[in-house]
Amino acid sequence: MNNDKKTIEDYRHLVASKDVTVHLSQDQQAMILKTYDYGLNAMTDIDEMLLSSVIRQLKTAIHTET
């Protein structure tokens, strides 16, 4: 089994240093605040789905912007 975990340096060449904008729903914004306050370990399955949707939007915006 390969245990080589990627570091942030492995991804830097994929992005440019510039602003990225996404539009988040009220629920997505609330999920960000809840995650900040209570951490990833306090998430329910629904919380995970909301956070994943935010991350997916960010990833799409990053790929579109670069």
Place of tokens 């949707």: 53
| Rounded-to-integer distance, Cα 13 and Cα 18, Å | 13
Per-residue pLDDT band for 28 (boundaries 50, 70, 90) equals: very high
Query: Is 80 exceeded by the pLDDT of residue 56?
Result: yes
Task: Indicate if the pLDDT at residue 65 is higher than 70.
Answer: no
Query: Is pLDDT above 80 for 10?
Result: yes
Please indicate whether residue 2 or residue 22 has the higher confidence score (pLDDT): 22
Overall average pLDDT of the 11-25 stretch: 92
Q: Residue 55 half-sphere exposure, CB side, CA atoms within 13 Å?
A: 7
What contacts 32, CB < 8 A, 6 or more positions away?
Answer: 24, 51, 54
